[in-house]
Chain A
């Protein structure tokens, strides 16, 4: 059994930042990453990030990922296991994982769960045809594997993922027929929407997909305008020829480990699903288990990085590391999060977090 001070589950923006901040206080950290390349969603984000200098705004996502990974790799107190899937977390605090083809047991003193999120799917006739992808999968094919994923795409969903992946498809030389969105308003940043509109990709709000059709693979889709009750308006149907349909209809927090660990959970729609109840320091109701990033509510990567920082600091401080420096650094991280969430785009998150605080243990 491997003994570690702090185990971080997931090597994405939240996990890497948790590892780095915990080690900065003196703790030894093991990061378990399922993929062969740590960085999580950052590795495929070719666009420039928003936020402020503190969250590396202006740098492209993959550049931020590389920078965090290089820092972690050169840090003697941080060990990274790639191709390692964490499988379970038990009452006695033992965590099991598949590592190097073996079933390995780990006994951490503290655990930070930064498992991220999974893409949501959408029910419509024909949605099982080959050629229907989550937008994130298409982004991986393009930007990680270097595979041109399609010739002509219909994008469903005008949140930031739908808008950004449409832009990146266009950059890869793929035609995007349209971005459709059932809500009356664009959910993602409007600068992303403006950027793809002026590249000739129409963004159509109040539209839904009626069906996908094709012989053995996607050959097109029928879309229609919907009314205030989400019912298709007769006469507004359009036929869109495409070989791929991308679904960018939201993410769900990957909380299996939190459930298994016995963390108190709550369904909070503003945070996009069931999330663990945490205190202000991101500790769950199970002492010693912390969460950071999308697992505690779907948000931007910039917030995930700061949450990771906060959870890592809290976990290390609880082991007695950097007890003098920790409170100031934790306060800074909390202020950074407040700043990122202060605007109208952060309203949903603020509401969700208020509900978390009301249910649980804000210290």
Chain B
């Protein structure tokens, strides 16, 4: 369970996973933030107003996935590195997963990186579609990985180094 090992359960994920219909429409954020902690930069990060926190800064952020266009701005602005973007509209075979990354070396576009799930288990080698720097101050990279459709909700990290 999340509280015992840090790995969100299926039930946890069900609460933040958009409908298949929404996922098929195009990129959308998945906010894997399940604990009430005092933190709210994600709300300010979204200039479409898709992320809200109805009460105090201790609330869990809510995503309006109709307003969210999956731009990914929130990924590198979440202090907890808990936001991902999934684009299942990429192709029949592949989906894109955008994830935050704060290790060196940073992979380059076109290289293959080993994808990891929420438990850190290896899921295979996937092409890096895009690498975006968060900038000098932010420093968090956003890595876009091309993964098989079936793994779009599984791949959440890449193994550091060994890129091919």
Residue ranges of A at the interface with B (Cβ–Cβ < 8 Å): 47-53, 57-60, 63, 170-171, 184-186, 189-206, 302, 339-346
Contact = CB atoms under 8 A, between A and B. Distances in A.
Q: Is the interface of A mostly helix, strand, loop or mixed?
A: mixed
A342 to B, nearest CB: 5
8 contacts: A193-B5, A198-B157, A200-B121, A339-B57, A341-B38, A343-B56, A343-B58, A345-B36
B40 A52 contact: yes
A185 B4 contact: yes
B37 interface: yes
B4 A205 contact: yes
B98 to A, nearest CB: 15
B80 interface: yes
B56 A185 contact: no
B15 interface: no
Contacts, number: 132
A190 to B, nearest CB: 4
B5 A191 contact: no
Contacts of A49: 79
B81 A191 contact: yes
A361 B121 CA distance: 54
A172 B44 CA distance: 31
Given A196-B6, A343-B37, 11 more contacts: A49-B79, A63-B137, A171-B104, A184-B4, A191-B32, A192-B6, A194-B2, A198-B117, A198-B119, A199-B120, A201-B120
Taking each of B3, B5, B36, B56, which has the highest tally of chain A beta carbons within 10 Å of its own beta carbon? Answer: B5
A194 B118 contact: yes
Interface residues of B, number: 43
B56 A191 contact: no
B139 interface: yes
Contact of B118 (A50, A197, A206, A345): A197
B6 A190 contact: yes
Nearest to A167: B102
Given A193-B6, A198-B118, A203-B6, A170 B39 contact: no
A181 to B, nearest CB: 9
A282 to B, nearest CB: 20
B80 to A, nearest CB: 3
B34 interface: yes
Interface string B139-161: 11000000000000000110110
A199 B157 contact: yes
Given A204-B5, A339-B38, A198 B156 contact: yes
Contacts of A196: 6
A224 to B, nearest CB: 17
B41 A57 contact: yes
A192 B40 contact: no
A57 B136 CA distance: 17
B38 A302 contact: yes
Nearest to A51: B38
